[in-house]
Amino acid sequence: MTQGQDRTAELLLQARLALISHQVAVSGTDPQVVRLPENALPELIRAFAGTADTVYQLVPVSGRPKNLDLFSLLVWRRHAMKGHDVRRLYLVPFGNPDAERILLQVEDDNASRIIAHRLYAGASSRDRQARDPAGGSVDAAVPMTNMWIVDNRVVVYEEYGDNGPPSWVVSARKEEVRTARARWDQLWEKRSELEHEAPRVPEPLLESADMVHSIAQYACTGDHVDADGCAWYHGSWQYLRLFNLVSSPNWHARFYEEHLRLELHAHARPRVLITGAADYGMLAYVLAAADRPENLDVHVADLCHTPLLANRWLGRRHGVDVAIHAVDFLDRGEEFAADLGPVDLVVSDAFLTRFERVEAERVVENWRRVLRPGGCVVTTVRLHDLERSVEDQSRAETEYLLRLYERAKSSHWLLEIDFDDLHDAAREYVRRMRSRPIGGQSEIESIFVQHGFRITKAEVGHVDGELQPATYLRIVAHA
Amino acid sequence: MWNSLLGAVSIGDRLEAAWKEIHAERRKALDGEEPSLILTHRIDVAGQRLTIDVGTDARRDARQISVDLPLIERAVNRRFSPLRLVALRLVEDVLERRRDDFPEIDRSSRPGIDELGAPDQTVERVYQSLSQMPDVVLVGGPGTQKTISAAIVAYQFEREGHACAWLDVRDGRAGAETIAWELLRLPRHDDILVVVNQVQDRMSEVGPAFALTQKLRTDFRLPARVLATGRPAIVDRDPLFQSFRRVPTPAPDHLPATVPEREIVYWFACLKLLEIRPPTAIVRRRFPEDLIHRLSRGPDSFLSHNSAHYSLASGRDAPTLIRRLRSTTPPGDVIWEYLKLIGRSAGSDLLHRLDQGDFRGGATGGRSYLRPAWNLLFDLGTQLDDHCARDPGWGENVGAAVFAAEALAELGHHSQWQEVARFVRGRWRYDQPRVLPEPADQSTRESEDFVEIARYMDLEDAYLSVPDLGLGPANTDQIDFERFYRTWMLGVLLGFEATALHKADDLRRSLVRTAEAQCQPEGFFYPSRVPWVTARVVLGLCRAGETYQNSTTVRRACEWLKRPRDKGGPYGGWWKGGTGSWNRDEATTAMCVAALIRAGDGDAPEVHTALAWLRARDGEWTKTDREIDLALVLEATLLGAADWRSSYGRILNLLHWATAEIHRKTIRQPEPRFVPENALRAPFAAAQLAILVRVSVARECEALLGQTAVRRLPRQRPVYAPPPSAGTSPSGGLLLLPNEQRWKRAARAIAETLENRIKDRSAVLERDSLRRASDIWQQVEGDKQRLARCLELEDRLKAPVNPDDLEALIELGRAVRGAAWDEGLTYKGRPARA
């Protein structure tokens, strides 16, 4: 053997050693546990599918299916067709983009003799967490990871860190099998409960949150919340919505559904204006309330391009051409109203408290200007006077971040953002975002009345809030 | 702000409304007094602008400025105040280049009246110079009280009925604009003093500020004077100061004479970093009254006090004193102990200020994590107490009990600690020097872990013993597991006794002796296959005061840890655990990194490489159930990484987890799954977390000291330099050539070069949002060390001079300022070769 060949062999040997050493480091040396890299999953499926009698699977549906998912599904369907007991429970996180696809998949599974169901894990709320003394709601406790119980002997699950692809763990540890079985039983029982059904206003947050975060980094130009730049707020907004940590139309879902439906149905081709939009949340409600969204003439006005682009994106998904207007509705509202022409409906969620009182009055005045006679504003306004002041801001911020940790730790890998960056973004948000008090219920109503509105609905609603429970006035006012 | 514009529609109305806003803001600031600068306005509807004549009684139209409507509207949108807008336009002609955006204009930070002492000779000289010349500069190195002297001058000036505009260029305000804004708000005075403090920090703002003052004198005929302060390296070099009268500051003060006095002053200096003024009751409890009294007496007193508080005397510069007193207790530790002393609520308030970066010169800030971490640590302490009340033996597990005890000790929970200590000291015997610790009676539960470890090692051997690949791990059969276990316990117990709330010095000494005896000739602690045992013992020794600098055992162990694998050592870019997934590579590496840093060997390249490896492995150590790995990595990162603050979020999460986990154990909920070291996890995390919060505070204090470049010192036994004996010449018989002053100036020049380099690079680091500038950080850290060394050597020029110190200074000077730096510098008797 030549010297060169010796060296080649030595290098190859070193590479083999590195591989083995890496495998030992990744897989570990617990005799009851085997840890596989994600790419080894087909081998594992093939092995188990040849021998397993019962396979119970929790399968998260993130909206970004992996290539391996389809392979796995087809193998297990074949396995079920052979008479084996295969059950699948699809865990659908809040913000999943495609309810229809999941429904079809469940039907196909059932046709292939897999007993399949879906279970919607809604955005966690403080109330639901508080009800569960074990330290979290059902939603919060369910990791959005694949978990299989095979022959009631081993549990197979994905193991995520803050970065990188997951490992797949096969564990025969009694404690783990017991815990997995308890989780399976608990969730399987809930498969038909109403509260775990699909939300009535679907929002593809899991699909768009990363996208909006990226766009915000260069499209954010500053708005009424922060004139210097609003990327810190628009960029993190949808992530925080996913974990129910920011004010959104969802906090007033029934109010918006009811009144938007009522107002939209009064017109054959309603002209709708959304003013102030942190993302497309308000548009989602408008589209959901319309029987024929394609008949809507929808306009969205905001200072910043990021929410405008998000609205256009959602509109296109629904086949609606949403007109977007980068305009300062506070200072340019009059010209804008003149250019746009009268609309039937103005919708705006928690917009007025972005302003000082005197400015909020101008916004209401501009709403009046843009509405046709008889037109209507549907909006919500936070009532600071009915809330306790936050006694210890730091403590409240810490609890906010811990809520994020609790809610995101089981599912943050569904998003592209690094967990640390998500945490930093939330911290930035909670430190900087401020809602401005503009008065109590009567004062707010009087602003509308002074500017020529007739209040047709005014109800007070209590919601989870961001730092603490919050109270909102829900208003429908006609011009 | 700008509310008048809300109802204004036409151009004329909007411009008139803008003027009203300017006028209103000014009227409010003047509070009914006559202004120094007179403003009159005209509205140009066609040109859509507001024209303002700015002048004085002597010259009404000294300057004309215009503010157009688009600019006004931009200011409205940005909530930029009307008077700031006028200030912005007023200085346009003195700016070297146009600003791209609205600059920050606000009150510049100026020492409060309660921080100032009585006028001294420097103040007198400045005052006298100002009466003779319009422009004066106070020149001195760091720690020479320039700011305080200038502030005293300013207050005296104001007390005599004159006015003062203060600009400290360190605080990031726009220079000329801030002065203009202050002047627009000033009532009429016979004399105006413009103070530009610490010019060396942002010379780009200084030129326009001086130019504005010059225009005030020539165009506006205002009697304006300038008092600047700055370092000699800038003032002596920059032509801007040619026309200034130069007033030098005196050399830094003497230090207290005795060791106890120095310790007291050091304590106060550390607290002053966070602007803490300890209550009189605490001070009296902590220090002998006669010493405090002595230090508070006379014109050169080190301390000042009122009925409620003591503090470092005004005029004493805390960073300078900390640097010069060179204590072995880092400032962070002093502050941590003080925090524990004042308790949860007051400590929380203090940390909140640190979070906010609310200290002069402190552009640091704990990013809103320190206060929450402090509060959560107390919650964790409550859970620990509950658990210890029910089960002080932590399930008959001495390992777990020791870690819980360390957490309790850190939190100062005496009674619970005593319960746990009784269990630990009763169940293990370690009072015989040179004999490994052993169970007193029957074995305790952590011994079962070593049975499990043996299985893991067997499996690792099986994986690695692949035929034909030539891998040859140590055979598990040859491992003496009892010795392995007892050596690990040696490290664990060292940590326990070293942090004990109720000291048992004989036990601690015995353990140290045992460690010295057990350290193998190569430097490891048994077994060599498992470097985390060596790391654990080194960590224990460090807690007992043994370090790389003062302990042969620690030094040998550190050298072994760093020895490459191909030379028989354990290091290969990182450290492998040697026990399979029982202490994975990430945990082992973090432990070794922490051990090396704590031992005082943290600048070794092996540490930096291993930290980089750990960062790349964050997908592993953040996985569920790896809280031990996480806690260890967080400690290593906090101690050694450039972006230590990136760990804060994870510390909070870990605190949250540990509190819940200990609660779960206390109420005996079943284990959800098997995890290696499960019994140790929660108490270990608790012990680590107490350390993590402490280290976080320490690093923030270091950051506050960053400008003076005091590097965190490793813990070691106090070693004080003997005081200079009376009658010895400063050079101790060595004749410095050409003279002592030249040597001192040369040392100062090195220090200033290093300070400038640190400042420039630190600015780059602050802008590096992606936190990838670790090489720059390393350079900064290197420079900080060189600077600390330089200042130390500079200090020693005053004491009996050692030729080694002079050679070290020459070497440092050449490295920092080039080969020609020492030209002309020598000393009598210097070897020709040198």
State the Cα–Cα distance between residues B2 and A227, nearest whole angstrom. 15
Residues B47 and B123 in one domain: no
Query: Up-side HSE of residue B179: CA atoms within 13 Å toward CB?
Result: 32
Residues B43 and B160 in one domain: no
Mode of pairing for the β-strands spanning A33-37 and B826-827: unpaired
Residue where a domain stops, chosen among B576, B594, B616:
B616
Residue B720 pLDDT: 29
- The tokens for A129 are 């967490």
Beta bridge partners of B230: B139
Residues B181 and B86 in one domain: no
Q: Residue B676: its chain A contacts at CB < 8 A? A: 30
State the Cα–Cα distance between residues B716 and B600, nearest whole angstrom. 9
Residues B144 and B50 in one domain: no
Residues B127 and B72 in one domain: no
In contact, B394 and B408? CB cutoff 8 Å? no
Residues A218 and A362 in one domain: yes
H/E stretch holding B184 reads helix B175-185
Residue where a domain stops, chosen among A196, A216, A238:
A196
Which residues in B108-134 are b (16+ Cβ under 10 Å) and which e? Answer: bbbbeeebbbeebebbebbbebbeeeb
pLDDT of residue B539 exceeding 90, the answer is yes
**Of B275-284, B654-663, B708-717, where does the model show the most confidence?**
B275-284
Residue B576's nearest CA partner among A13, A22, A232, A353 is A22
Average pLDDT of the segment spanning B432-455: 92
**Phi, psi for B776 (deg, rounded to 5):** -65, -40
Residues B185 and B76 in one domain: no
- Please report, to the nearest 10 degrees, the dihedral formed by the alpha carbons of residues B635, B639, B643, B648 taken in order: 40
Residue B651's nearest CA partner among B371, B248, B439 is B371
Conformational region of residue A93, where left means phi above 0, alpha means psi within -120 to 50, and beta covers everything else: beta
Size of interface A-B (CB pairs under 8 A): 129
- The tokens for B663 are 């609660």
Beta bridge partners of A177: none
- Helix, strand, or coil (residue A32): coil
Q: How far is CA A112 from CA A41, A53, A71, A187, in A?
A: 22, 16, 15, 22
Q: Residue A37: its chain B contacts at CB < 8 A? A: none
Residue B698 pLDDT: 85
Q: Is B726 on the interface with A (CB under 8 A)?
A: no
Residues A177 and A218 in one domain: no
- Helix, strand, or coil (residue B78): coil
Q: Which residues contact A364 (CB under 8 A, 6 or more apart)?
A: A352, A447, A448, A451, A453
Residues B463 and B579 in one domain: yes
- Residues of chain B with pLDDT > 90: what percent? 26
Q: Is B720 on the interface with A (CB under 8 A)?
A: no
Return the DSSP state at B473.
P
Query: Up-side HSE of residue B728: CA atoms within 13 Å toward CB?
Result: 15
In contact, A306 and A324? CB cutoff 8 Å? no
Residue B675 pLDDT: 65
Q: Is B646 on the interface with A (CB under 8 A)?
A: yes
Residue A193 pLDDT: 63
Residue B578 within any structural domain of the chain? yes
Residues A146 and A214 in one domain: no
Cβ B460–A29 below 8 Å, yes or no?
yes
Query: Up-side HSE of residue B544: CA atoms within 13 Å toward CB?
Result: 32
Residue B74 within any structural domain of the chain? yes
Read off the pLDDT of residues B459-512 as tens digits, 9 standing for 90 and up: 888 888 765 555 555 566 688 999 999 999 999 999 999 999 999 999 999 999
Nearest chain B CA: its distance from A24 CA (Å): 7
Residue B362 pLDDT: 44
In contact, B575 and B610? CB cutoff 8 Å? yes
Residue where a domain stops, chosen among B589, B616, B643:
B616
Residue B732 pLDDT: 47
Residue where a domain stops, chosen among A196, A213, A238:
A196
Residue A211's nearest CA partner among A276, A163, A280, A288 is A280
- Spans in chain A with pLDDT lower than 70: 1, 122-141, 192-199, 386
What residue has token string 């609905």?
Answer: A457
Q: Is A402 on the interface with B (CB under 8 A)?
A: yes
Q: How far apart are the first and last CA of chain B?
A: 69
Read off the pLDDT of residues B556-570 as tens digits, 9 standing for 90 and up: 999 999 999 989 999
Cβ A405–B622 below 8 Å, yes or no?
no
CA B180 to chain centre: 34
Name the least confident of A274-283, B240-249, B526-535, B785-794.
Answer: B785-794
Q: Which residues contact B172 (CB under 8 A, 6 or more apart)?
A: B104
Residue A14 within any structural domain of the chain? no
Q: Is B457 on the interface with A (CB under 8 A)?
A: yes
Question: What is the number of domains present in chain B?
Answer: 4
Q: Which amino acid is at B293?
A: H
Residue A438 within any structural domain of the chain? yes
Q: Is A405 on the interface with B (CB under 8 A)?
A: yes
Nearest chain B CA: its distance from A253 CA (Å): 32
Read off the pLDDT of residues B300-320 as tens digits, 9 standing for 90 and up: 788 988 888 999 887 787 888
- CATH code of the domain in which B204 resides: 3.40.50.300
Return the DSSP state at B286.
H
Q: Residue A362: its chain B contacts at CB < 8 A? A: 6
Residues A213 and A298 in one domain: yes
State chain B's mean pLDDT as an integer: 83
Q: Residue A467: its chain B contacts at CB < 8 A? A: none
Name the least confident of A128-142, A417-431, B285-299, B599-613.
Answer: A128-142
Residue B605 within any structural domain of the chain? yes
Residues A271 and A163 in one domain: no
Residues A143 and A239 in one domain: no
Q: Residue B582: its chain A contacts at CB < 8 A? A: 29
Q: Is A32 on the interface with B (CB under 8 A)?
A: yes
Nearest to A227 among B79, B371, B618 (CB): B79
Residue B96 within any structural domain of the chain? no
Structural domain harbouring A319: 205-478
State the Cα–Cα distance between residues B616 and B637, nearest whole angstrom. 12
Residue B660 within any structural domain of the chain? no
Angle between helices B774-796 and B740-767 (to 10 degrees): 160
Residue B191 pLDDT: 86
| Cα torsion angle, B440, B441, B445, B448, sign | positive
Nearest to B660 among A23, A135, A431 (CB): A135
Q: Where are the alpha helices (DSSP H) in B412-444?
A: 414-427
Name the least confident of A267-271, B171-175, B342-346, B576-580.
Answer: B171-175
Listed by number, the residues of chain A in 360-389 with a beta carbon closer than 8 Å to a beta carbon of chain B are 362
Angle value at C-alpha A306, between A300 and A308, nearest 5 degrees: 15
Average pLDDT of the segment spanning B572-582: 91
Q: Which amino acid is at B441?
A: D
Residue A461 within any structural domain of the chain? yes
Cβ A427–B650 below 8 Å, yes or no?
no
Q: Is A173 on the interface with B (CB under 8 A)?
A: yes
Residue B311 within any structural domain of the chain? no
Residue B425 within any structural domain of the chain? no
- CATH code of the domain in which A29 resides: 3.30.870.10
Using pLDDT thresholds of 50, 70 and 90, give the confidence band for residue B327: confident
Angle value at C-alpha A280, between A278 and A284, nearest 5 degrees: 140
Mode of pairing for the β-strands spanning A323-326 and B438-439: unpaired
Residue A15 within any structural domain of the chain? no
Residue to substitute from B453, B583, B620, B769, interface A, most A β-carbons within 10 A: B620
Query: Up-side HSE of residue B575: CA atoms within 13 Å toward CB?
Result: 33
- Over its C-alpha atoms, chain B yields an Rg (Å, rounded) of 32
Q: Is A419 on the interface with B (CB under 8 A)?
A: yes
Q: Is B464 on the interface with A (CB under 8 A)?
A: yes
Residues B477 and B591 in one domain: yes
- CATH code of the domain in which A442 resides: 3.40.50.150
Question: What is the number of domains present in chain A?
Answer: 2
- Over its C-alpha atoms, chain A yields an Rg (Å, rounded) of 26
pLDDT of residue B583 exceeding 80, the answer is yes
Read off the pLDDT of residues B207-253 as tens digits, 9 standing for 90 and up: 888 888 988 888 888 888 899 999 887 888 888 888 889 888 876 66
Residue B779 pLDDT: 75
Q: How far is CA A164 from CA A60, A64, B620, B636, in A?
A: 18, 16, 9, 21
Cβ A427–B670 below 8 Å, yes or no?
no
Q: Which amino acid is at B185?
A: R
Residues B40 and B117 in one domain: no
Residue where a domain stops, chosen among B184, B217, B248:
B248
Read off the pLDDT of residues B262-278 as tens digits, 9 standing for 90 and up: 999 999 999 988 888 89
Average pLDDT of the segment spanning B7-16: 84
Residues A262 and A395 in one domain: yes
Q: Which residues contact B296 (CB under 8 A, 6 or more apart)?
A: B302, B303, B304, B305, B310, B313
pLDDT of residue B773 exceeding 70, the answer is no
In contact, A346 and A375? CB cutoff 8 Å? yes
Cβ A29–B463 below 8 Å, yes or no?
yes
Q: Is B616 on the interface with A (CB under 8 A)?
A: no
H/E stretch holding A476 reads strand A470-478
Name the least confident of A100-104, B353-357, B393-397.
Answer: B353-357
Residue A198 pLDDT: 62
Q: Residue A398: its chain B contacts at CB < 8 A? A: 371-372, 375-376, 652
Residues A306 and A427 in one domain: yes
Nearest to B673 among A24, A175, A406 (CB): A175
Residues A174 and A288 in one domain: no
Residue of B328 and B447 predicted with greater confidence? B447
Average pLDDT of the segment spanning B164-188: 85
Average pLDDT of the segment spanning B543-547: 92
pLDDT of residue B712 exceeding 70, the answer is no
Residues A318 and A420 in one domain: yes
Q: Is B70 on the interface with A (CB under 8 A)?
A: no
Residue B508 within any structural domain of the chain? yes
- Length of chain B as a residue count: 834
Residue to substitute from A29, A142, A412, A436, interface B, most B β-carbons within 10 A: A29
Residue A150's nearest CA partner among A55, A224, A214 is A55
Chain A: residue nearest B770 by CA? Answer: A421
Q: Is B629 on the interface with A (CB under 8 A)?
A: no
H/E stretch holding A219 reads helix A205-219
**Phi, psi for B64 (deg, rounded to 5):** -115, 130
Read off the pLDDT of residues B398-418 as tens digits, 9 standing for 90 and up: 999 999 999 999 888 999 999
Structural domain harbouring B517: 430-616
Average pLDDT of the segment spanning B759-785: 66
Mode of pairing for the β-strands spanning A154-159 and A167-171: antiparallel
Nearest chain B CA: its distance from A277 CA (Å): 18
Residues A295 and A436 in one domain: yes
Residues B203 and B155 in one domain: yes
**Phi, psi for B17 (deg, rounded to 5):** -65, -40
In contact, A297 and A272? CB cutoff 8 Å? yes
Name the least confident of A107-111, B426-430, B712-716.
Answer: B712-716
Residue where a domain stops, chosen among A163, A196, A229:
A196
- Residues of chain B with pLDDT > 70: what percent? 89
Residue A230 within any structural domain of the chain? yes
Residues A185 and A307 in one domain: no
Residue B125 pLDDT: 87
Residues B12 and B117 in one domain: no
- The tokens for A164 are 């990188």
**Phi, psi for B472 (deg, rounded to 5):** -135, 80
Residues B453 and B503 in one domain: yes
Q: Which amino acid is at B687?
A: A
- Helix, strand, or coil (residue B470): coil
Average pLDDT of the segment spanning B42-68: 87
Residue of B660 and A165 predicted with greater confidence? A165
Cβ B619–A162 below 8 Å, yes or no?
yes
- Helix, strand, or coil (residue B501): coil
Residue B78 pLDDT: 76
Nearest to B372 among A16, A359, A394 (CB): A394
Nearest to B456 among A13, A29, A398 (CB): A29
